[in-house]
């Protein structure tokens, strides 16, 4: 019984009135003397009656005044979505905020997602998201805002990338100078990455550098002549050993 009562109470708070009614009625059958079940069931019946009245009045307005439908040439009135000005009407010098669902006055709670549409309380927002179509409109607005922010960031990054080459040598150093000794390259040595340095600077970099990599782009340096000679000698010795063992 307690599980049914808790589930019915949760569904009632979420606006699922018909489901809550079924759970509470079943809980009442199991324990007809529970005051809590009777109280919540009475509140639920009251909420159902009010909901039926609202639906009936809304359908009656549509059938009652068909001639008052606006013409196609008339400007459209704001609807209950995120992009409208439904959040307030001027009453003299005072701004009156209307609920986006029931249109009651002085709605103080903002939509927790878009922060634009106002509601009376959390319950009105849940009902608007479930039955009023606000969920799709709100998510569409948030998605468009995220896409616009992404485009702005991409534009800013592209602009910074275009300005970077002009500022890379703003300290007065010529692009033709060796970026290790800051002097015109002597016996220039061009690395596979395209950067050019003095041959002596590259040799010092191989000998004393922490890493054998280009100081500008950090791409690994090609093997030196000594290193290539050492690798060739090792390969030559291995071949001689295999020949002596009759493997060839």
pLDDT bucket at 80, cuts 50 / 70 / 90: very low
Side-chain half-sphere exposure of 166, counting CA atoms within 13 A: 5
Q: Which of 117, 139, 161 is the last residue before a domain boundary?
A: 139
Are residues 62 and 68 in contact, defined by beta-carbon separation less than 8 angstroms? no
Each residue's pLDDT tens digit, 118-173 = 778 877 877 777 776 666 777 676 677 667 777 777 777 666 555 545 444 444 44
182 within a domain of the structure (yes/no): no
CA distance linking residue 125 with residue 109, whole number of Å: 9
Each residue's pLDDT tens digit, 159-172 = 655 554 544 444 44
Q: Residue 164: left if φ>0, alpha if ψ -120 to 50, beta else—which one? A: alpha
CA distance linking residue 35 with residue 29, whole number of Å: 13
Tokens 């004393």, residue located: 208
Each residue's pLDDT tens digit, 175-233 = 578 878 888 888 888 888 888 888 888 888 777 665 677 878 888 777 766 667 777 78
Is 56 in the same domain as 7? yes
Domain count, the chain: 3
13 within a domain of the structure (yes/no): yes
CATH code assigned at 240: 3.30.40
71 within a domain of the structure (yes/no): no
Q: Which of 197, 163, 199 is closest to 180 using CA atoms?
A: 197
pLDDT bucket at 45, cuts 50 / 70 / 90: low
Give me the domain span that covers residue 54.
Answer: 2-60
- pLDDT (0 to 100) of residue 179: 79
- pLDDT (0 to 100) of residue 121: 80
For residue 82 the two structure tokens come to 């995120």
Is 233 in the same domain as 193? yes
């Amino acid at each position: 019984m307690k599980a049914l009562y808790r589930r019915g109470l949760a569904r009632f708070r979420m606006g699922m009135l018909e489901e809550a009614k079924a759970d509470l009625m079943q809980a009442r059958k199991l324990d007809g003397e529970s005051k809590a079940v009777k109280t919540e069931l009475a509140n639920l019946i009251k909420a159902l009656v009010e909901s039926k009245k609202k639906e009936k009045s809304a359908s009656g307005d549509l059938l009652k005044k068909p001639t008052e439908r606006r013409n196609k040439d008339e400007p459209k009135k704001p609807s209950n979505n995120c992009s409208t000005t439904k959040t307030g009407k001027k009453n003299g010098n005072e701004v009156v905020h209307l609920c986006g669902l029931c249109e009651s006055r002085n709605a103080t709670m903002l939509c927790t997602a878009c922060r634009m549409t106002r509601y009376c309380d959390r319950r009105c927002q849940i009902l608007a998201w479930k039955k009023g179509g606000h969920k799709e409109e709100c998510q569409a607005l948030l998605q468009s805002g995220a896409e616009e922010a992404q485009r702005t960031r991409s534009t800013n990054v592209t602009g910074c990338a275009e300005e970077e080459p002009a500022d890379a040598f703003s300290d007065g150093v010529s692009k033709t100078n060796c970026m290790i000794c800051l002097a015109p390259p002597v016996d220039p040595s061009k690395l596979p990455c395209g950067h050019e340095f003095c041959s002596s600077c590259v040799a010092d970099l191989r000998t004393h550098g922490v890493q054998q990599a280009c100081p500008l782009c950090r791409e690994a340096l090609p093997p030196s002549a000594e290193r290539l000679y050492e690798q060739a000698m090792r390969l030559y010795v291995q071949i001689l050993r295999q020949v002596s063992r009759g493997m060839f």
